[in-house]
Amino acid sequence: MWLQPDENLLKNAFKLWVTEEDNEYFVLQRRRGYGEGGGGLTGLLVGTLDTVLDSTSKVAPYRILHHTPDSQVYWTIACGVTKEEIVQHWDWLQQNIMRTLSVFDSSEDITSFVQGKIRGLIAEEGKSSLVQEEDPEKFREALLRFEKWFELPPKEKLVTYYSCSYWRGKVPCQGWLYLSTNFLCFYSYLLGAEVKLIISWDEIWRLEKTSNVILTESIHVLAHGEDHYFSMLMHLNETFVIMEQLADYSIKRLFDKEAFQREPALSDPMQITKRGLEAHAKSEQFRTFFRLPKEENLLEVHESFLWVPFSHFNTLGKICLSENYLCFASQDGSQCHVIIPMREVINVEKSDSSSRALTVCVRGKKALRFAEVRDYQRLANTIRSKCGISASPQHSASSDAIRGACQSLINHFEDNPEDVTLMVGQKDSSKAVSTEALMTVFHPQDVENLDPKMLKEKMKEQSWNIHFSEYGRGTSMFFTRKTRDLIVRGVPEALRGELWMLFSGAVNDMATHPGYYTDLVEQSLGTSTLATDEIERDLHRSLPEHPAFQSDTGISALRRVLTAYAYRNPKIGYCQAMNILTSVLLLYAKEEEAFWLLVAVCERMLPDYFNRRIIGALVDQAVFEDLIRENLPQLVDHMTDLSFFSSVSLSWFLTLFISVLPIESAVNVVDCFFYDGIKAILQLGLAVLDYNMEALISCQDDAEAVTILNKFFDSVTNKDSPLPPTVQQASVSNNDKTSHFNVDISELIKEAYEKYGNIRSEEVESSRKRNKLYVIQTLEDTTKQNVIRVVTNEVRFSPLHLDKLYNLFKRQHFLCCYWAMKSPALLHHDPSLAYLEQYQLGFQQFSMLFSLLEPWAFCNPKSTLSLWIFRLIDENQDGLVNFKEFCCALDTLYSGSFTNKLKFLFKLHLPPAFDLPEDGVIRKSPERGRGKVDLQAYLKQWQNEILKKEETIKDLPRINQTQFIQFSKTLYNIFHGDPEEESLYQAVAHVTSLLLRMEEVGRRLHESSSPPESTKPANTAAAESSTPEASTTPENSDTSSSCNRRDAGPDLTEMDWSFSFEQVLASLLNEPTIVRFFERPVDIQTKLGQAKVAQLKLKANK
């Protein structure tokens, strides 16, 4: 590999190199300790020095230096892993450079020319390189070490590397940590002790930062039940973020394809870079904090001061700019942030250069002044270009006119708010879509009603109106601590829908997709899928006690929203609990607004909640358990197994407490959720457990604890709710009975914020990522255990061997997914299918794995025999082999009797394995995913499996000439390389000769006993045509061998003779050598160990 010319003084090299070849201008050297005679103490010391000091020579033991006769300075220009590689570079220099150097007069010119030529070669190589790092030269060297040490496939992309210590017990090993797209690798070489570690990201259960007495700060990795600790990292936080991103990327790509498909930036594993992962992590945090659509990416960050009009001072913070939003978040603890959609910006003005300030004018007579922005001119131009605002000098004279026109437009919209929808380009709503919140229709507020609850409701509205006048209203409103205080007290019924839309970010989705919902409703109308069937079943179970859902108006609106969302996102479709959540959204928001709120909840605020495996809810339950351990130690001491809280709290997370609290109380929880996200649900969950701490500690069993919590939720009321008793869920009689237990929801929420409000959203998101690995791996392990339990009854493998086999099988599936942008193998994994069908191998995957595990080394991945075996064990002929089919085949070859092994080989040469086209193409594939399930087909298949009789040797058809010849060849292939190969070959030849003679004798006896005029079957017609008169039929007119009965054996056509399995078995049983060979035991443990080591190398050498 060519290197950037680097100055090297040989007198300070401590004689670590030996010169192999040299000439006037170049020297080829070998590192001591390598090559011929390089062992011993010298090799150990040099190897250790190379690893610890990050020398390229550990993996590049050869180098080429450039020098001139009158200089003591040498320049390193190339290095090589092997002598062949370095000799190739040496020969190139001899042929292309040496002649040219003779024309130069001075040494400086020669050195300058050589350096320029080498840099040119490197630049030419770099044009096609995917490496985009700050120091390409060092990265090239690291890449060379990575490829040499770990021998991974060439397509594996190194992302970054770090120097660190890896702890083996209590002993640290200093070495290098390499992070690639699919693997975490570590290498150390100290005094002859080599430590090499390769862990694929999809095998990691835990990834977290830890600290203890010995390790002040380290990164903990749990994989395959083993703990790995990495410390002494110069940039530990940066390293951890990259590792976290790579692990999350792998999980999404291989296990959670629904989430992965929503992130096209990560779709190509060959384009993943350190810079890209860091940018992705920042964009993820940015979107989560400001509740922005998934399409938004953080483009620029500027530190600045923002003039806050309600406080009359400048607050320090950061401006965050994306494609369609300008956001600001304070850093001084004031918890102030604002979101400005670019569509709302009408002008950007720059102040004098001394203050480095710019003013952003937005609709609604509002302006935001940012001061002390370092690059304020570029920021202003960027905002203008994104908003389509002209800043050219020729338009400056008319700026007042433009400002006046904008002001008149603003005044018009303020006087005519109904025209705002036209301003953002929304289409007229379809008549079929409800344009009013259901609460407005079924419980209109009585303006003249002056009871205490309505008066308090009016006071809340007045407080919010004052807040709007100070902090703004709509998309560019300031979010502050006061906003949260008002949320905790409870949102007025009249403002609930508007504020939910604002806090969730759904208002931006709806504004940027005018008419989208109406189109979806029209397109999804009348569709019939599994999702629509489930929706129809659950429609009347959604808040059935509320008048709105006792009428066709509410039911129809609920049906349209759920069906439209299922049509928009078929990967999620419909999941139970979505109906309950959507019912509450429809009470306070218009139908289209409820749809966009549902989108915000399912796709941003509660990711992966509403799918078959409810991964998101399980992850948040794990986060909840961590918070219980941290905040409620008394409860933890009493209940060591916290899984009880996971099971009982599942409905809390899935329905945001709507299913356990009365509706009038649950909506206050939803208020907090839309403002603070999942943090609000976690805080409230902790407050509920804290409130019932003493009762829970005194419980004798789980059932008693559930009863206590249910009674508590029944006692929660909302004393300020203006809803009439017909709408409220809590009955008066129940309240009277338990009046001394009543808990007001506002007080409960307030207590939750006071006690647990210090939980930071960033910590929750970090905990989500950490626990997501564990949750998904737990689900995968459950799948594995269920598959092994099913397969155990069918094979003779031990559970330990089945566990290792399953890991190999699953890894083979992933190996075909690691380096492809859209691997077909990814389509073979569907978590919604039965356990056995979740992981299946296509032919290419199967042949590679089977070649590593089959006992006789007769089947290479590209052989026709591999295809026959694949077809034989693919029982349903769908072009895929599941784990059970794979294990049953191996079990026969490993542990089956001589008869069963021979029957397996015999069936390889019969249809359907032998006669199908040999192209490996999948002929048919079953319906997968969430489409309509053919229950009749499943029942029929189940019935066939129950009634299926064990196949006997008499059930096997006879084998014809072509098939028998191929069967003999297969036996020869199996015996090749065996110590008794010669004896085995002779035995096969003897059996073949014996069978042919037996067939000939049988035919002659058959001919002598059969009348010539009788009609013969097709396979004996040729045998009867021994006379010219008998060969006049079209079938026999071209049979030249029919006249010569003496040579009939070798010259018979394919239809002339055939053998039954009993004949083949009886003949082979008479050969002890063959019987011994097939009954020879196989060391399964060794075979599995060898396959694990060779699996990656086979892919690398492919």
User: What's the farthest any 2 CA atoms get from each other in the chain?
Assistant: 120
Residues 759, 177: Cα–Cα separation, whole Å: 33
Residues β-bridged to residue 1059: 959
Which among 51, 102, 111, 109 is positioned nearest to 77, based on CA atoms? 111
Which among 1049, 1052, 1055, 1029 is positioned nearest to 1040, based on CA atoms? 1052
Cβ atoms of residues 528 and 620 within 8 Å: no
| Strand 743-744 to 716-717 pairing | parallel
DSSP state letter for 957: P
774-786 b/e (C-beta count within 10 Å ≥ 16 → b): bbbbeebeebbee
Give the angle 377-380-382 at the CA atoms, nearest 5°.
110
- Specify the 3-state DSSP secondary structure of 491: coil
The verdict on whether omega for the bond into residue 912 sits within 30 degrees of 0, i.e. cis, is yes
Residues 141, 149: Cα–Cα separation, whole Å: 12
Q: Which ranges of the chain have pLDDT less than 50?
A: 12, 14, 55-58, 127-133, 259-260, 392-399, 401-403, 405-406, 409-410, 412-414, 417-431, 730-740, 916-933, 1013-1055
Residues β-bridged to residue 671: none
Residues 561, 320: Cα–Cα separation, whole Å: 34
Cβ atoms of residues 320 and 298 within 8 Å: yes
What pLDDT score was predicted for residue 725?
64
Which among 265, 278, 264, 299 is positioned nearest to 235, based on CA atoms? 278
Cβ atoms of residues 839 and 828 within 8 Å: yes
Q: What DSSP letter does each residue of 524-586 carry, written as one string?
A: HTT---HHHHHHHHHGGGSSTTSGGGGSHHHHHHHHHHHHHHHHH-TTT---TTHHHHHHHHH
Cβ atoms of residues 541 and 583 within 8 Å: no
What pLDDT score was predicted for residue 830?
65
Which among 587, 577, 605, 774 is positioned nearest to 675, based on CA atoms? 605
Helices (H), 53-106: 83-96, 98-101
Residues β-bridged to residue 1094: none
Cβ atoms of residues 978 and 984 within 8 Å: yes
Question: H/E/C letters for each residue in 1030-1071?
Answer: HHCCCCCCCCHHHHCHHHHHHHCCCCCCEECHHHHHHHHHCC
Backbone angles phi, psi at 280, to 5 degrees: -65, -40
Cβ atoms of residues 18 and 30 within 8 Å: yes
Residues 194, 1101: Cα–Cα separation, whole Å: 24
Which among 182, 26, 162, 198 is positioned nearest to 98, based on CA atoms? 26
Backbone angles phi, psi at 745, to 5 degrees: -60, -35
Cβ atoms of residues 150 and 198 within 8 Å: yes
| Long-range Cβ pairs for the range 611-615 (8 Å, 24+) | 611/258, 611/571, 611/572, 611/575, 612/575, 612/831, 612/832, 613/779, 613/831, 614/575, 614/650, 614/654, 615/256, 615/772, 615/775, 615/776, 615/779
**Distance spanning both ends of the chain, measured CA to CA:** 23
The residue behind tokens 């004896």 is 983
Residues 313, 371: Cα–Cα separation, whole Å: 12
Which among 349, 276, 290 is positioned nearest to 319, based on CA atoms? 290
Question: H/E/C letters for each residue in 423-463?
Answer: HCCCCCCCCCCCCCCHHHHHCCCCCCCCCHHHHHHHHHHHH
* Amino acid at position 868, single letter: W
Q: How far is CA 725 from the centre of its chain?
A: 48
Cβ atoms of residues 924 and 830 within 8 Å: no
The residue behind tokens 């004098």 is 352
Radius of gyration of the chain (CA): 38
- Specify the 3-state DSSP secondary structure of 879: coil
Q: Which two tokens stand for residue 964?
A: 């028998």
Q: Which residues contact 577 (CB under 8 A, 6 or more apart)?
A: 610, 651, 654, 655, 659
Residues 741, 58: Cα–Cα separation, whole Å: 73
Which H/E stretch holds residue 901? helix 898-907
Residues 657, 687: Cα–Cα separation, whole Å: 13
Residues β-bridged to residue 349: 359
What pLDDT score was predicted for residue 447?
58
Which H/E stretch holds residue 349? strand 345-350
How long is the chain?
1102
Which among 337, 367, 375 is positioned nearest to 349, based on CA atoms? 367
Which among 693, 715, 717 is positioned nearest to 705, based on CA atoms? 693
Cβ atoms of residues 174 and 194 within 8 Å: no
- What's the whole-model pTM score? 0.76
Residues 854, 893: Cα–Cα separation, whole Å: 7
| Strand 158-168 to 226-231 pairing | antiparallel
* Amino acid at position 159, single letter: V
Cβ atoms of residues 1006 and 1020 within 8 Å: yes
Q: Which two tokens stand for residue 1095?
A: 């699996």
- Specify the 3-state DSSP secondary structure of 209: strand
